[in-house]
Structure 1
Amino acid sequence: MSDFDHLPFRPCAGVMLVNDEGRVFVGQRVDSPSEAWQMPQGGIDKGEEAETAALRELQEETGVDPKLVSVIARSKAEHFYDLPVELKGKIWGGKYRGQRQTWFLLKFNGSDADINIETEHQEFRSWRWSDLDDLEALIVPFKRELYQAVIQEFTPYLNSLTQ
């Protein structure tokens, strides 16, 4: 048992934003020297609903107005991940061992011109649309299992969006 296993998981909302071609938005974090990418996600504020947090985080990280998306699905359960040992106690003020995330599949109804990652508190240095099959390889290893579960859960919806 690690010294951090007693810590709670940080409540978080995640967004799988999908365009008309069934490709998924991913951003490359500004605070990571690696080539790791991720989908938009962020903390749920006290008293905030998960869907409200997801739409807020999407706008804060990508500049996408919530009016430009349609909510297609919400994860049936929360998905969890633990931080790697070298990050525990260092981020989020050392208060959390990892995150518990509620995920949302959102259909993007705008154009690429509606995406602006140069936001007030910029989180991504670059962005792109990724094929679903490539998504897992882009993600940091400690989040891969969570991403696999989200992809598996949302795949039936994605198939119906692109037919």
Structure 2
Amino acid sequence: MTDPQHLPYRPCTGIMLLNPEGKVFVGRRIDTVAEAWQMPQGGIDEGEEPKDAALRELEEEIGTCKAEIIDEIPEWLYYDLPEHLIGKVWKGRYRGQKMKWFALRFLGRDEDINLETDHQEFNQWKWVDMHRLPDMIVPFKRDLYRTLVARFNHLIRKD
């Protein structure tokens, strides 16, 4: 097995989709038996701009791109895979992901969300309070999700 320190990070985009009430979209992953919920995310194709990848991934994963970008984290955020997953995901080519994160305001209706896409990754979805996100994600992504909550917290409506 290749030393993980010599593997690159996979370029990826992540989407925090907020509904008008300030709740965040999460989907339950279909590829695990654990209660693994996450926000939409996915790889950035070669030559693709991160913003374009975010909108493409949103449509591929939840069946709609009825949303507008309202904020972004300008720098890349990173996470490492746990040792037992290195060599098993992404054909063993990456040690983790470097992610460009965007916050989007959902402009559609709940009925516009359709998880049965060509690239289905989720089998359930729901809107949740932003502060709950770190407790819903797999442990190796929790620090990343804490950062996202801290950085996008100002987007929650405080009426």
Q: Could you say whether these structures have the same fold, taking a TM-score greater than 0.5 normalized by the shorter chain as the test?
A: yes
Contact kept, 8 Å, 2:16 with 2:103, in 1: the verdict is yes
- Alignment size in residue pairs: 158
Name the amino acid aligned to 2:8.
P
Query: Can you list the C-alpha shifts for 1:22-45, whole angstroms capped at 9, x where unaligned?
Result: 100000111011001000000000
Deviation at 1:5, TM superposition (A): 1.2
Aligned residue number for residue 126 of structure 1? 124
The alignment status of 1:13 with 2:6, answered yes or no, reads: no
Secondary structure, aligned partner of 1:5: helix
Aligned residue number for residue 24 of structure 2? 24
1:92 to 66, 73, 90: 90
TM-score under structure 2 length normalisation: 0.96
RMSD between aligned residues: 1.2
Unmatched tracts of structure 2, length 5 or more: none
Aligned residue number for residue 72 of structure 1? 70
Secondary structure, aligned partner of 2:85: coil
Aligned residue number for residue 101 of structure 1? 99
Q: Distance in 1 between matches of 2:76 and 2:63?
A: 25
Unmatched tracts of structure 1, length 5 or more: none
Aligned residue number for residue 35 of structure 2? 35
Moved over 2 A (4+): none
Deviation at 1:162, TM superposition (A): 5.3
Secondary structure, aligned partner of 2:3: coil
Q: Distance in 1 between matches of 2:67 and 2:46?
A: 24
TM-score under structure 1 length normalisation: 0.93
Contact kept, 8 Å, 1:75 with 1:104, in 2: the verdict is yes
